[in-house]
A and B are shown apart, each in its own frame.
Chain A
Amino acid sequence: MKNKVIFMSFGILIFFSAFTYAAGRKIVPGDIIFTAPVKSVIFSHEVHVNKEHIDCNICHSTIFDTKALNLQKNKNFNMKSLCKGRYCGVCHNGEIAFSVKTQCARCHIGVRGFERSDRAVKIPRMSSFMPKNALKFGTGNFEAVFSHKKHIGVHCNNCHTKIFPFKYTVGSITMNAIKNGQYCGKCHNGKIAFSAINCLICHNKLSKKNRHTAKD
C-alpha cells in the first residue's frame, strides 16, 4: 500500500514537471543546415530560441529571410562577410556571442554531419507556433479581429516583417491607412483578398448576429 502511494506520487511529480517543462518551451522550426559555400553548417532554432531566449524578430527578417536556405543563394554568404559582422556575425562577434573566428567545428558539422541529418528542413506547421487566439485591434464594439488560422495558406514572410513586425503592436493602423493600401490593405484591396469596405468581416462585434448574442 505504502509502495503504491510513493509510486503514484512519483508518477504525478514526473507528469507535472514534464508539463511545466513543455509549457515554458516554444515550438520552433527544426535545424537549418546550410550546404553552400561549404558543406555543411548547422543552425539550431532550438538552441537560439529555447536556450538563449532570443525573440524571432531579432533575426527575422532584418538579418535572415524567413524562408529557409534562401540566404545561401547570396554570393557574399561566406566567412569573410561573417567576420565583417554580417549575417551570423551580427551577434557572433565575440561580444554578444562567441566569435565566428573561433570554434569552427561548433557550427561546421561537415559532410558526415550532413549525411547523418535527415537533410529535409523540418519546419513545423505554422499553426504550432503562431498565436492561437485571434488578435484584437481597437476597443469596444469597434474591435477588429485578425485570425492567423484563417490566413494559414499565406506564407509568413508575405507579412512578417515587411508589413507587420512579429511583436503584436497596434501602432498607426487606421482604416484610412488600410484604404490607402497600407497594412491589411496591401492584400485586402478587392483584388488579392476581399476589400476593406466589407467592415463586418473583421469588425465582427458590429454584426447583427453578434450583437444579439451580446445582449442575450
Chain B
Amino acid sequence: MITRMERREFLKLGLTITGVSVGGGFLSVVSNFKKVFASTEEYRKKYPYKPHYTMLIRQNRCIDCGECMKACVKTNNVPGYGYRTTILERYEKNAIGSKREFIPMLCMQCNNPPCVRACPVEATYKDKKTGIVRMHYEKCIGCKTCMEACPYDARYFNDERHAIDKCDFCFDTRLSKGMKLPACAEACPTKARVFGDLSNPNDEVFRIVHQMQKAVWVLRPEVGTKPNVFYTTSDREVSDEK
C-alpha cells in the first residue's frame, strides 16, 4: 500500500528526472523567446548544426495558390494520396475584414522529434550536419508508428516505395545537388516561405527570429518538439520583394 506522501515523493522524483533529461538535450531556438534573449551570444554558439536549415513562413502572405504543393509533387514524386507540404485553411465567419486564413504546413524538422524516438528500426533520423529529419527508405518497415507520433501530421505512407515519406527540405532532390532553395520556397509567388540558415547571423531568417518587435511563433509549442519552422506576419508589400 502506497501512502499519499510516498506517492508525492515518487512524482517529484519523476519530475526531476524528466527535467534533467530535457535540460541535457541539445538546445535550439524555442517558441519561448525570453529564454533566447536571456543569453543570446551563448545561444548562438550552441546551434548544433551548420548549416541549421530552417524555414520562416509569413503567414498572412499565403493565398493558397497551391504553387508550392505543385512544385513539391513534381520535385519529389509525391503521389496523390499523400503530401509533404500542405496548406491549412481557417474560416472565421464573424471576423472583421478578412475572414480567411491560410497556414502552410510541412515537416517542422523538430529539434526534439517524436517520430525519431518512435521509430523501432531507426529508419528516420535527425541529420547530424543539417538538422533535417531524414529517412532511410530501405530501413523502413512501414509500421506507421512515426505517423502516429508526429503531432503535425507531416508523414504519409508511400505505397510505391513501401516506406514512409516526408519533407526533407528537398535535401535529396535539390539541396544536396547544390541548389539553394527547396522547391516550395522557390515556387511561392508571394515569397511567403523564406528558407534560411539559423546558424548564420546575417541570414534573413535569423534576423527575424531573433527580434522582438514582431510576433514569431511555432505550431503546437505545447508538445515540446522545438520546431525549426517558424511563423510570422509581414507588413511589407508583396510588390516590394525582389
Q: Which residues of A contact B (CB under 8 A)?
A: 38-39, 79-80, 83, 98, 101, 103-106, 108-113
- Give the total of B residues in contact with A, Cβ under 8 Å: 21
CB neighbours (8 Å) of A101 from chain B are 237-239
A111 & B102 in contact (Cβ 8 Å cutoff): no
Contact of B67 among A38, A105, A106 (CB under 8 A): A38
- Partner-contacting stretch, out of B46-54, B58-66, B168-176: B58-66
B190 at the interface (CB under 8 A from A): yes
B100 at the interface (CB under 8 A from A): yes
B87 at the interface (CB under 8 A from A): yes
B98 at the interface (CB under 8 A from A): yes
Contact of A108 among B63, B67, B237 (CB under 8 A): B63
Q: A105-B63, A105-B102, A108-B63 are in contact. Are A83 and B239 (CB under 8 A)?
A: yes
B65 & A108 in contact (Cβ 8 Å cutoff): yes
A sample of 11 more A-B contacts (CB under 8 A), given A103-B98, A104-B62, is: A39-B66, A79-B239, A98-B97, A101-B239, A104-B61, A104-B98, A105-B60, A105-B63, A106-B99, A106-B100, A110-B64
CB neighbours (8 Å) of B98 from chain A are 103-106
Query: A103 to nearest B CB, angstroms?
Result: 4
A79 & B87 in contact (Cβ 8 Å cutoff): no
CB neighbours (8 Å) of B99 from chain A are 106
CA distance A113 to B99 in the complex (A): 13
Query: A43 to nearest B CB, angstroms?
Result: 15
Q: Can you show 20 pairs from A to B with CB atoms below 8 A apart?
A: A38-B189, A80-B239, A101-B238, A104-B98, A104-B190, A104-B238, A105-B62, A105-B63, A105-B64, A105-B98, A105-B102, A108-B65, A108-B100, A109-B64, A110-B64, A110-B66, A110-B89, A111-B64, A112-B89, A113-B100
